[in-house]
Structure 1
Amino acid sequence: MKISIIGNTANAMILFRLDLIKTLTKKGISVYAFATDYNDSSKEIIKKAGAIPVDYNLSRSGINLAGDLWNTYLLSKKLKKIKPDAILSFFSKPSIFGSLAGIFSGVKNNTAMLEGLGFLFTEQPHGTPLKTKLLKNIQVLLYKIIFPHINSLILLNKDDYHDLIDKYKIKLKSCHILGGIGLDMNNYCKSTPPTNEISFIFIARLLAEKGVNEFVLAAKKIKKTHPNVEFIILGAIDKENPGGLSESDVDTLIKSGVISYPGFVSNVADWIEKSSVFVLPSYYREGVPRSTQEAMAMGRPILTTNLPGCKETIIDGVNGYVVKKWSHEDLAEKMLKLINNPEKIISMGEESYKLARERFDANVNNVKLLKILGIPD
């Protein structure tokens, strides 16, 4: 049996699909992993997992219909040559144009997976710009044209079904709510959060929508009364996003002692282990954030919003606290609760670990995914 997995970047393929690739190849299935920006090292990682890396062209964002359709045609030619029994396209643009290429090439089992509705569906604190509204309407139109002709659509949370499928009356042959993609729990070591020196860690791209500005403002507020508390930011600076932190912003914060910024790191688990509390005050339309799942798997309490994707990771007052979107004041208040009650950091971390095992075990979720793809367990 052959299966093609179609994503955007090589990094996303490695970060989000490597566990699935390993599961499939162990079953003797030939896996073709499509990404747009492979280099020698990323290809080697995919090959070590037992799959075949395949280059293809597709712009990550924006709509250039002529260019996107041409790239879809070229992708369909590659699929015709491979003749996969099934394809799985993930993220928004691959779910549109990868699915369309699957239709053109006559793949029998054509499945798309949306891991959150993304930036175009994200509510902004100062209203949605006209350009964003226009792009959202185009995206929804493409979903309405293509999704009725695929076998299955996979979503990660019920809110996405309500806000996309129900609201826009998109016809589907089949839809599945998977929950979080999950983690290989064996790759994460649970540990007791340090409470002698308390630290809060934020792991995401430094986008406004991920709540980085709220994290920084809360850190500034806490530092005035608790100068020994540490605030760590891990993640890449996104130069194309006007609302995120710039390099000069980060440099200023580091010099003032407000935050520690190691940048984008590959050893995320090591940093989580050193931290006390995980923070993601996101208002982005998440699927289920992987970084939060990782922190839970390592036994860290969570501070996050009650918004789609994030709320799947939090039981307020049990494994952490819900924080109000766009409110650094509320975030600082919840941080102080934990600083003043360090025993809660430990007990809530235990609850996070239990919740991760219950909801985010990749072995369990991959079985569901294989069933959707028509692959026997």
Structure 2
Amino acid sequence: MTAEKSRLRVALVCNTAWAIYTYRRGLLRMLTECGAEVSVIAPRDRTFEPLIAMGCRCVELPVASKGTDPRDDLKTLVALFREYRATRPHVVFHYTIKPNIYGSIAAKLAGVPSIAVTTGLGYVFIQKSRTAAVAKRLYRLAFRFPREVWFLNQDDRAAFLEQNLLAHPERAQLLHGEGVDLDEYALAPLPPREGFIFILIGRLLWDKGVAEYVEAARRLRVRYPHARFQLLGPVGVDNPSAITRTDVDAWEREHVIEYLGEAHDVRPHIANADCVVLPSYREGVPRTLMEASSMGRPIVATDVPGCREVVDDGVTGLLCEVRNASSLAGKLERMLTMDAQQRAAMGLKGREKVAREFDEKAVVERYRGTIRAVSGISL
């Protein structure tokens, strides 16, 4: 390890430390092994401890993800500005809406190079509300400043360009998903059994199509009582689209849904399922679908940006219409009644697609090249 490498300082900023730990461990490993000082700046959660164990420096950040009070957002901006002025990172990567907006402004004010990574456009492009309109104006201001703006799919990049949200369109770059570790999410055979398990994995948000999933489950349980419909992920999260524990309790009492809570490791749940479902309204490139395909699980998802990046309709899974419980129920029924060998073949095709297009190693190399180009320091 050279002294030059040990001096490299990289910061990753997100509205949850959990997302940094869960989705970017390969990047963190590469940086720490190369001797970089890595700062994870996010609200404190249970992943601070494992991040510190990996060699990262964790900094608690105030972020009101659901809030619209400008005083809270000013606190976020000021906290980031002070952090950047104090530590002078060579490059900062911002993820999710508020870090992207306020972090990009703070980095500019502090004279620090930054990259904005739009992991999904979320409620800003799903809802037509005053809050969404304000967010777009803030994007237009803030995205003047990053060296590059990375999008996870072509649709998201096109949306920003069409709505003139990028002062420097040439800085819009495509990062084809954030990748999955093919060894960690190894191929697992479909479980041999009489029953059938569908699972939806992710933060429990209405925008993830959970209402449509529940309604489809209601309809199918009547005809296919052996079918089980599971939900795995945090409830009541800090998001405008959050589902409450009261909603989940009602579905459980109705015996239509099995709520599995949260899991540090989703692999046993994917391995135990016959099909992974994500009826989302819009995504970046959903990690849960890449993980499911990597493990050989067929998928049912919506034909929307992000999901259709991962799912080849009729080949690795099935796509349904967005916000349409009837269409979703039809695709789930088709998956349920499909020959087991057909489902297994879909899963294998999914594994091949992930290995070809979403290998985490390629994503880590993209980060490595960008850090070298911005900082002038080789890793």
Query: What's the TM-score, normalizing by structure 1?
Result: 0.90
1:111 aligns with 2:115: yes
Deviation at 1:290, TM superposition (A): 1.2
Secondary structure at the residue paired with 2:234?
A: coil
Equivalent residue, structure 1, for 2:4: none
Deviation at 1:240, TM superposition (A): 7.1
1:74 aligns with 2:79: yes
Equivalent residue, structure 2, for 1:87: 92
1:185 aligns with 2:191: no
Deviation at 1:67, TM superposition (A): 3.9
Does the aligned pair in 2 maintain the 1:152–1:372 contact within 8 Å?
A: no
Deviation at 1:210, TM superposition (A): 0.7
Secondary structure at the residue paired with 1:312?
A: helix
Deviation at 1:120, TM superposition (A): 1.9
Deviation at 1:373, TM superposition (A): 2.8
Deviation at 1:303, TM superposition (A): 0.4
Q: Deviations over 1:175-194 (max 9, x none)?
A: 21101101122211211222
1:121 aligns with 2:160: no
Equivalent residue, structure 2, for 1:234: 232
Q: CA RMSD in A?
A: 2.0
**Identity, % of aligned positions:** 29
Equivalent residue, structure 2, for 1:19: 26
Equivalent residue, structure 1, for 2:367: 369
Q: Write out aligned runs for 1:314-325 (5 A).
A: 314-325=311-322
Does the aligned pair in 2 maintain the 1:212–1:244 contact within 8 Å?
A: no
User: Kindly tell me: are residues 239 and 42 of structure 1, through their superposed partners in 2, closer, same or farther at Cα, counting changes over 3 Å?
Assistant: closer
Q: Distance in 1 between matches of 2:12 and 2:104?
A: 11
Secondary structure at the residue paired with 1:232?
A: strand
User: Kindly tell me: are residues 252 and 364 of structure 1, through their superposed partners in 2, closer, same or farther at Cα, counting changes over 3 Å?
Assistant: same
Deviation at 1:229, TM superposition (A): 1.4
Deviation at 1:62, TM superposition (A): 3.5
Q: Distance in 2 between matches of 1:84 and 1:374?
A: 13
Q: Distance in 1 between matches of 2:305 and 2:209?
A: 14
Equivalent residue, structure 1, for 2:212: 214
Deviation at 1:295, TM superposition (A): 0.7
| Unaligned ranges ≥5, structure 1 | none
Q: Distance in 2 between matches of 1:5 and 1:243?
A: 25
1:168 to 153, 160, 164: 164
AA matched with 1:7: C
Q: Distance in 1 between matches of 2:289 and 2:54?
A: 25
1:200 to 198, 201, 204: 198
Q: Deviations over 1:228-278 (max 9, x none)?
A: 112111122227778765434433433443222112222311011010001
Query: What's the TM-score, normalizing by structure 2?
Result: 0.90
Does the aligned pair in 2 maintain the 1:213–1:245 contact within 8 Å?
A: no
| Unaligned ranges ≥5, structure 2 | 1-7
Q: Distance in 1 between matches of 2:109 and 2:222?
A: 60
Does the aligned pair in 2 maintain the 1:76–1:105 contact within 8 Å?
A: yes
1:47 aligns with 2:45: no
* More displaced stretch, 8-17 vs 341-350: 8-17
1:280 aligns with 2:287: no
Deviation at 1:29, TM superposition (A): 1.2
Does the aligned pair in 2 maintain the 1:217–1:328 contact within 8 Å?
A: yes
Secondary structure at the residue paired with 2:277?
A: strand
AA matched with 1:222: L
Q: Distance in 1 between matches of 2:27 and 2:348?
A: 27
Instruction: State the aligned residue count.
Output: 365
